[in-house]
Amino acid sequence: MFTRHPVAQICHSRRAQILLPAVMLAPIFILVIYLLFETAKVSMTKVRQQFALDNGAYSQMSTTSGYLNALAMVNGNLPYRVMKTMTGDLKAKRNATRNDPVTIFDVFYEAGAFPAGGPNHSSGKDGAVKNKTPAPESNNWDFQYFNGKRKNWMKEDPSEAKEDEEDGYLVMTSKEIADNYFFGSSGVALTYIKEYATIFIRTGSIYASQTYVYEDTIKKSRMFRESYFLNTGDCTRRKCGQQAADILDRYELESKPWEINKTGFYVTADYAGSTMHSGAYMIHLNMEDTIQSKLFQFAYLTPSSRSRLKQLGNGIVLKQKYTLPANRFNINLAQRYQPYVRNTVSVSCPRAGNNCVWPNPLPKYSVKVGP
């Protein structure tokens, strides 16, 4: 009787019908596992690089939007709010040609010493002070000088306001009010002139500090590179995101302060405790001699910066190549496919031309990052 070899018997058994294909398919299963693992590595690398690009771009542009909003604040809302606290009424002189209620606020505002929120710019205490706070959704806070004053200043490229000067000195307090009310040189006038100067000295200091921080942070896309490095860790701080950083470097913004030197303040020629009013006269102050610097008024963007800001409003595209990790198949995917990540980042405010810094400042810049 013919007897099968033991191996042959095993091969013809039912178990062998399952075991043999399994043994043959095992290498394929291993290759599939390796393939899934390597594919996951590629996907994780791309996700990490995309996140680094998005996070870095947002961090960098948040610095820009924060700076622009700070400029808008020091240009309007900040000094205006402080000046609104100067509401002490002035006493009218006997036989005054004007006898409506007048405050310290009016003395400076009606001379064009600072811009105020709208819509009423033709009266002081009953206008600019009582104007309602703009609604949160409002895109026009309407900061203007009193009754059309400082027209040459209310431009993207401001120029000297010669029509508001007398004998070369820029008038900072109302001659009409000093003629009709007691704004005495012996006390109240000097106190508030000093306070006015202090307000704008501090405002100028805030502007200088914000500018220093912005320029130091934005230089060579420092914020972007640092963020990119922390989120990837596969590059040096100086070279992280080089390709995208080169694009961001083109969009550094520059502002300039508008400062004044020769100023004139109308006051009342009276004496302490006296009820006599001898008319108004001007005190001349050279700010460079008095405070050792010119007096800050507002800041504006240079023409080239406004051009770059328009582009930022429309959005700029960032691209960044990256290196894929080595794989078990020894295939150079980076050379074959040249992988990169990209996004579009914008800094914008709700105004045509994307200039909400000056004139009519509006601190509503925001950052958007998209595909």
pLDDT at 135: 83
Instruction: Name beta bridge partners: 319.
Output: 342
Low-confidence spans in the chain with pLDDT less than 70: 1-26, 28-32, 34-40, 124-130, 185-186, 270-275, 326-335
Q: Among residues 162, 145, 210, which one has the least CA distance to residue 363?
A: 210
Beta-sheet strand order (sheet of 366-370): 316-321, 340-348, 366-370
- Contact call for residues 346 and 331 (beta carbons, < 8 A): no
My answer on whether omega of the bond before 119 falls inside 30° of 0, hence cis, is yes
- Contact call for residues 72 and 203 (beta carbons, < 8 A): no
Q: At what angle do helices 14-72 and 303-314 cross, to 10 degrees?
A: 150
- Interatomic CA distance for residues 154 and 301, integer angstroms: 13
For 295-336, the pLDDT digits (tens) are: 999 999 999 999 999 999 999 999 999 888 766 666 666 667
- The per-type count for the chain, helices as H runs and strands as E runs, is 11, 9
